């Protein structure tokens, strides 16, 4: 689709027309138009979103603020929804950093935070921190402690009601944007995020997106605090919880619909995508094995099977996770066999139209298993189990006519 075609789609045309009218409206009319703009964004795919949300647009917003033509409450209403769409739909287009608005935004957070406690506007600070994390990629690590403090406080609300639930979801979604390389002192977040997760496990108060976001924030901390591993695996039961969430999401997606408008998947598909990212991080960082892992692997296989016809991006992500799982020594090969991983991958290779990237991941998966089956085991019982597992796997390959092929790949190709 050309840039001109994108700019003329109904959703972007409506968005741009409404934006051009904002500076001529009073505060109430601005709010109504921004709510319509937010609805238009819901209909956009990634290309449309990129076309509408430009550096120039943010520069114009900044200019309108400076000229007192746009009210701050309405600015935040618009920016929060832009950030929500950007992150929840995994568009992840960071265009705010380059605008003239960004430095002003950082200064506002610092200035508001430095006010005396009784003068500080916590609601404004929370809104600013949410926009900051949802829109930025090159955020200042000096501002992270401020953001974490106020957003965790907002995310800890347990009151019932749709409004509170949405506020909590926004706070957790913003926190999930803090990448794994950003160091946060554990006493700033650990007790609070554990309590948020535990409370949900007992009372089910979070939305599906909010719960996934809480785990993403937690998993991103693991790189710099390895002692979290036992808490994640044995206290909070990540594998059990992630498997349960995936099961519900798999059931809610219409995987077999004949036509799908490209780029406009349902929200459940985006959440599955986000879960797969967290699961990938989990297997990259955790070495502990428990029986709950087998159920999680089974769910990833089910996503792989379900997505292969109409959601190839999800299919690729799930096979990428499975490939990494097969290379982990803490994951038992027998569990991979029982989960149907090998059957699913063999059927994928048999497709008449192959996706090169997915095929490569499938072959890597087999090579990982092959290498692990070659490992010497000192314990005779373990060696017997290894041989039995190897025999089962190669019997499956032989049934499908792949034994010689896989052997050849293993001997001649380094992927």
Q: pLDDT 10s digit of each residue in the chain, 415 long?
A: 444 444 468 899 999 999 999 999 999 999 999 999 999 999 999 999 999 999 899 999 999 999 999 999 999 999 999 999 999 999 988 888 888 888 888 999 999 999 998 999 999 999 999 999 999 888 888 999 999 999 999 999 998 899 999 999 999 999 999 999 999 999 999 999 999 999 999 999 999 999 999 999 999 999 889 889 999 999 999 999 999 999 999 999 988 764 455 456 688 999 999 999 999 999 888 887 788 888 999 999 999 999 988 888 899 999 999 988 888 877 777 777 788 887 888 777 776 455 678 888 888 887 888 777 776 454 444 666 656 665 666 566 666 555 555 554 445 334 3
> 232-251, pLDDT tens digit by residue?
999 999 999 999 999 999 99
State whether residue 218 is helix, strand or coil: helix
With respect to residue 15, please indicate whether it lies within any of the assigned structural domains: yes
Task: Report how many domains make up the chain.
Answer: 1
With respect to residue 282, please indicate whether it lies within any of the assigned structural domains: no
With respect to residue 196, please indicate whether it lies within any of the assigned structural domains: no
Hunting for tokens 């603020």 — which residue is that? 65
Query: What does the pLDDT read at residue 15?
Result: 96
CA-based torsion, 95, 101, 103, 108: positive or negative? negative
Query: What does the pLDDT read at residue 10?
Result: 87
With respect to residue 319, please indicate whether it lies within any of the assigned structural domains: no
CA-CA distance, 149 to 153, in Å (whole number)? 6
User: Domain residues for 120?
Assistant: 1-140
Q: Is 126 exposed, middle or buried (0-12, 13-18, 19+ CB in 10 A)?
A: buried
With respect to residue 259, please indicate whether it lies within any of the assigned structural domains: no
With respect to residue 76, please indicate whether it lies within any of the assigned structural domains: yes
With respect to residue 74, please indicate whether it lies within any of the assigned structural domains: yes
With respect to residue 69, please indicate whether it lies within any of the assigned structural domains: yes
CA-CA distance, 322 to 305, in Å (whole number)? 12
pTM for the whole structure: 0.88
Query: Kindly report the CA angle at 175 between 171 and 179, in degrees rounded to 5?
Result: 165
For 310, list phi and psi in degrees, rounded to 5: -125, -10
Q: Nearest to residue 102, comparing CAs of 66, 67, 148, 55?
A: 55
Query: What does the pLDDT read at residue 291?
Result: 83
Q: How many CA atoms lie within 13 A of 84 on its CB side?
A: 21
CA-CA distance, 321 to 365, in Å (whole number)? 10
Residues 6+ apart with CB under 8 A from 360: 415
Query: What does the pLDDT read at residue 336?
Result: 78
CA-CA distance, 46 to 51, in Å (whole number)? 9
Cβ-contact 372, 333 below 8 angstroms: yes
State whether residue 399 is helix, strand or coil: helix
Query: What does the pLDDT read at residue 372?
Result: 77
């Amino acid at each position: 689709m050309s840039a001109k075609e994108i700019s003329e789609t109904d959703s972007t045309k409506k968005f741009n027309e409404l934006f051009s009218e904002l500076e001529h409206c009073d505060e109430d009319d601005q709010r109504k138009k921004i709510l319509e703009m937010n609805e238009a964004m819901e209909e956009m795919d990634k290309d449309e979103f990129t076309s509408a949300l430009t550096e120039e647009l943010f520069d114009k917003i900044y200019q309108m603020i400076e000229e007192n033509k746009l009210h701050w409450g309405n600015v935040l209403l618009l920016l929060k929804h832009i950030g929500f769409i950007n992150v929840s739909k995994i568009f992840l287009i960071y265009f705010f950093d380059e605008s003239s608005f960004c430095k002003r935004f950082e200064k506002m957070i610092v200035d508001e935070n430095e006010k005396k406690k009784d003068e500080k506007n916590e609601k404004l600070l929370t809104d600013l921190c949410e926009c900051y994390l949802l829109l930025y990629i090159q955020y200042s690590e000096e501002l992270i402690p401020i953001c974490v403090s106020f957003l965790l406080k907002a995310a800890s609300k347990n009151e019932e009601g749709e409004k509170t639930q949405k506020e909590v979801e926004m706070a957790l979604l913003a926190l999930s944007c803090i990448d794994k390389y950003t160091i946060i002192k554990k006493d700033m977040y650990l007790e609070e995020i554990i309590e948020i997760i535990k409370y949900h496990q007992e009372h089910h108060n979070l939305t599906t997106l909010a719960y996934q976001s809480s785990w993403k924030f937690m998993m991103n901390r693991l790189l710099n605090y390895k002692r979290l591993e036992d808490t994640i695996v044995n206290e909070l039961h990540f594998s059990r919880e992630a498997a349960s969430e995936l099961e519900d999401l798999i059931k809610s997606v219409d995987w077999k619909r004949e036509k799908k408008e490209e780029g406009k998947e349902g929200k459940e598909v985006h959440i599955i995508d986000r879960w797969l990212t967290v699961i990938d991080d989990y297997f990259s960082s955790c070495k502990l094995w428990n029986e709950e892992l087998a159920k999680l692997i089974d769910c990833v296989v089910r996503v792989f099977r379900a997505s292969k016809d109409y959601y190839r991006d999800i299919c690729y992500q799930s096979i990428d996770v499975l490939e990494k799982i097969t290379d982990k020594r803490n994951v038992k090969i027998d569990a991979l066999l029982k989960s149907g991983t090998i059957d699913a991958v063999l059927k994928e290779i048999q497709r008449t139209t192959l996706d090169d990237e997915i095929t490569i991941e499938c072959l890597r998966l087999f090579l990982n298993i092959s290498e692990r089956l070659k490992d010497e085991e000192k314990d005779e019982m373990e060696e017997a189990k290894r041989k039995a597992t190897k025999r089962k796997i190669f019997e499956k390959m032989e049934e499908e006519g792949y034994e010689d092929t896989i052997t050849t790949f293993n001997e001649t190709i380094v992927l």
